[in-house]
Structure 1
Amino acid sequence: MLGAAGATARGYDCLTFDGPGQGYALWKQQLTFRPDWEHVVTPVVDFALGRPGVDPKRIAIQGISQAGYWVPRAVAFEKRIAAAIVDPGVCDVSKSWTATLPPPMIELLKAGRKDEFDGNLNKMLDPATKKSVAFRMRPYGVTSYFDAFKATMAYNLMDVAGKIECPMLITEPANEAFWPGQSRQLYDLLSCPKTLIPFSASDGADLHCEPAAYGLRDLRVFNWLDETLGAI
């Protein structure tokens, strides 16, 4: 998984898991996304603390892509985590869904006109896009376009970001495709110790999750984590 190789190269022990809506949890256990990710992370922390050699004062968590929402949500309530990393920051998951909707479709969504919304979108989408949207809907556990778009609106940090206490690093890649501007937005919402690390096209480290520059990404992220945990 992204970041784990860089972490183990630094000497960190890594615990990875499939949360609801991801990998084995989705395909085999039929567990779908949930916005209250603290109820996912707290059992993971419990498990980690039962492992030999785990320092309870130096547990860090890293969230990639949409986990840029889940990790801040979790640490807003799970206080045993000493440091958090998100790549990128995500304040409002729904923006990646609604950004390309025409204004009349946004109005149907706001008005709760499900049948009209589903019917119109079904006409608007070509077959390939329908398959792509269906794939993205499955983790939410819904089959209606309207229900999927409405479900994403529950994934919002505006009311909980102020509860975060642990130090947080937020990456800010240039040309972010899914949640542009939200890394800075999350940074501004936080009152905890915080760091915003930009990644630029000139570094070859732009785009969502810095796909062409994992080495540079890991260098900056784990330099920060070394310093942050070293101060504890």
Structure 2
Amino acid sequence: MHQFFPGIFFTFETVRILGMAAAGGAELAECLDAIGQIKDNDPESWHRAWAEQARKAEAIANEARASGDREAAKRALLRAHNYSRASYYMLPGAGPLSPDPRYLPLCEKSVALFRDATRFFPPGTVHRLEIPFEGLALPGYLYLPPSWRRIPGQKKAPILIANSGADGLSEEIYFMAPAAALELGYAAVTYEGPGQGLTLHRDGIVFRPDWEVVASAVLDHLETLSTAKPELDIDTGRVAVWGTSLGGYFALRAAAGDSRFKACVAVDPVHDFWDFATTQVPKAFLAAWERGWIGDGAVDAVINLGTRLAFQMKWNIATTGTFFGLRRPSQILRAMKSYTLRLPGGGSLLDRIRCPVLVTGAKASLYLDVSTHTSAVYDGLRNLKEGDEKQLWVGTTPGEGGLQAKVGALALSNQRVFRFLDGHFGIVREHL
């Protein structure tokens, strides 16, 4: 694969941005302009380059408004949103719980740009949600396919609930699967749960491992909304849950905990967050810590030294600590052990899943080893029939879905995701 930068981290995140182009989230030449201004492992140059492209895209949107071009305004605002999101992404601040002061205002700006763009979608396509959850109102969106995209012969649209992962906004998730869902006659929902987006960075609500509780609240709200507004024509009896990376873990937890989910798509999922940690820190060192041979202070000192020597380590610790609401690396590592599909007394949450599941993996993943995560999930679905109720797809090269979360290959990913869902939701499309 072509490397935009010497380091894989900046290259991967660049491909992530470029991959949104198919759904209107990027323009190739604008991205090339930004890439030319970025120095590897230099977060300030990354910030400046993408902030400049966000400003230019917003200016293009204003030109389009002035000339009455709704489509150009929409697309420019979507790009401005995505570039704005990218502009703060590499700002780790001083460490966990010590954010860069630019982070939250830029996050809010990114969300505002996306919401502005939704004004130019076809009427009735986008509905803002406030999902009741333990005294909170989780922000989200319900996307409805326009009448000309509805599935022939089916009055109600099946629903895809798309979970964000560890570091995305629900607005960004629109580019990854919901945009394709609308083209195929599906309704889609995106939302931010605890530890995600503004729910985390503005409201201070941190991650929780039992995501089935969160996902069930989203489904409860959808059912209430469908009853109150039958004209929405959404089919709460055909709901699929989808997620990538840590969002794939969330999707599997949802399917294990709530039988109302009738299909699950786990795109390059995490099986056990602790297993991921062991790929970032030497296993022998972690084993010595677990056995009590070295203390928390030594772990903190070694990892903090690593954050001073390697930008990606600094970013990982700052970002993960903020998700969990924890400051010390030793605390962060311990918290990761709670995010697992293994049960404390043995067995697996995967044994509880009864709906069909599509599991994917990525051979060229920056983060997750296929044998440790993808295979563990697929093999753990012991109650599902292979090839029918459970299916496996492992991408090899980037163009074949080989990068984590299928970045850069979203069209192929969505083709296979919705073929799987069509098959299990009784949707038969005319051969072309």
TM-score range with shorter-chain normalisation?
over 0.9
**Aligned match of 1:76 in 253, 256, 263?**
256
Partner of 1:110 in structure 2? Answer: 290
Q: Which has the higher helix share?
A: 2
The partner residue of 2:200 within 23, 26, 36 is 26
Say whether residues 1:179 and 2:363 are aligned partners: no
* Aligned-partner SS, 1:179: coil
Alignment of 1:113-124 (within 5 A): 113-124=295-306
The within-5 A match list for 1:76-225 is: 76-111=256-291, 113-126=295-308, 128=311, 129-158=313-342, 159-181=348-370, 182-190=373-381, 191-192=383-384, 193-201=389-397, 203-225=399-421
Instruction: Spell out the pairing of 1:46-57 with structure 2 (5 A cutoff).
Output: 46-52=220-226, 53-57=233-237
Q: Aligned equivalents of 2:335 and 2:250: distance in 1?
A: 15
Q: Secondary structure at the match of 1:126?
A: helix
Query: Which structure has more RCO (C-alpha within 8 Å, separation ≥ 6)?
Result: 1
Asked whether the 8 Å contact 1:63–1:86 carries over to 2, the reply is yes
Q: Gaps spanning 5+ residues in structure 2: where?
A: 1-172, 227-232, 343-347, 428-432
Deviations 1:90-144 (A, max 9, x none): 2112222221312442034313521221122223332633244212221011001
C-alpha separation in 1, matches of 2:377 and 2:307: 32
Q: Deviations over 1:139-183 (max 9, x none)?
A: 011001001011111111122111111111111222122221211
TM-score, with structure 1 as normaliser: 0.92
Judging changes above 3 Å, is the alpha-carbon distance between structure 1 residues 39 and 101 closer, same or farther for their aligned structure 2 residues?
Answer: same
| Structure 1 residues 14 and 122: alpha-carbon distance in aligned structure 2, compared to 1, 3 A threshold | same
* 3-state SS in 1 of match to 2:391: strand
Secondary structure of the structure 2 residue equivalent to 1:58? strand
Letter in 1 for 2:286: I
- Once the two structures are TM-superposed, the CA of residue 197 in structure 1 deviates from its matched residue by 1.6
Instruction: Could you tell me which runs of 5 or more consecutive residues in structure 1 were left unpaired when the two chains were aligned.
Output: none
Q: Percent identity?
A: 28
Q: CA 1:41–1:99 in 2, change beyond 3 Å: closer, same or farther?
A: same
The 3 A distance-change label for structure 1 pair 207 and 230 is same
Tell me how far apart the structure 2 counterparts of residues 105 and 163 of structure 1 sit (CA, whole Å). Answer: 34
Cα deviation, 1:8-46, whole Å, max 9, x if unaligned, reads 111111111001111021012211111101110111000
Tell me if the contact between 1:108 and 1:117 (Cα under 8 Å) persists in the aligned partners.
no
Q: Computing the radius of gyration over CA atoms, which structure comes out larger, 1 or 2?
A: 2
| TM-score, L = length of structure 2 | 0.51
What do residues 71-99 of structure 1 show as CA deviations (whole Å, max 9, x unaligned)?
Answer: 11121111111101111132112222221
- The number of residues matched between the two structures is 231
Aligned CA distance change for structure 1 residues 174 and 48 (closer, same or farther; 3 Å): same
Q: 2:284, 2:298 → 1: CA distance?
A: 11
- The alpha-carbon deviation at position 204 of structure 1 amounts to 4.1
Q: CA deviation at 1:57?
A: 1.7
